[in-house]
Amino acid sequence: MKILPAQKGTRKGRGQSLVELAIALPVIVLILLGTIDFGMAIFSYAILRDAAQEGAWYGSFNPGNKLEIENRARNISPRAEDAIFASPVNLRDKELVKVNIKALGAYCQGSTNGVANSLQVNVSYNYPMMLPFVGPLLGSNTILLTGTATNIILQPPCSQ
């Protein structure tokens, strides 16, 4: 049986393709996992920002009620245990998610020293990264994400 010249390189070419795949596949998988991890971090930040905005909005009408402001920030979306998809951040977990409320001025409608009285709500969370080798490079396996929102206080009016 005579081997044709076109068939000579196929066996060698298959081995080369396998080596190229073995070299490229881990890099492609790491890029894919990094993209997913980065996307989940951005999604978690958006949830924190929405929670802070809800708390600041409620605080603009009830600035003195810090407990209810925090409650509004922590309960922006229901998180059922049997849900198919739930938020990656459990806002109700007081160990992982911190809510900080700060008045900029007085706790009433009006201004202090020419600046409108406002309320700032910060919601922070340590996002755990999926990629295990990134932690030693950054010095931590988590990234601190903080959503911040500030609203002007609309009620009650300041007494003159």
Tell me what pLDDT residue 49 has: 96
pLDDT attached to residue 9: 52
Domain range list for the chain = 11-77+87-152
pTM: 0.81
The confidence band for 157, taking pLDDT boundaries of 50, 70 and 90, is confident
Cis omega (within 30 of 0) for bond into 5: no
Q: Which residue has the tokens 């049986």?
A: 1
Task: Give the least confident one: 79-83, 107-111, 146-150.
Answer: 79-83
- Report phi then psi at 152, rounded to 5: -75, 140
Q: Centre a 10 Å sphere on the Cβ of residue 37 and count the other Cβ atoms it contains.
A: 17
pLDDT of residue 65: 92
The residue type found at 131 is L
Give pLDDT tens digits for 97-123: 999 999 998 888 888 888 889 999 999
Q: Is the pLDDT of residue 78 over 70?
A: no
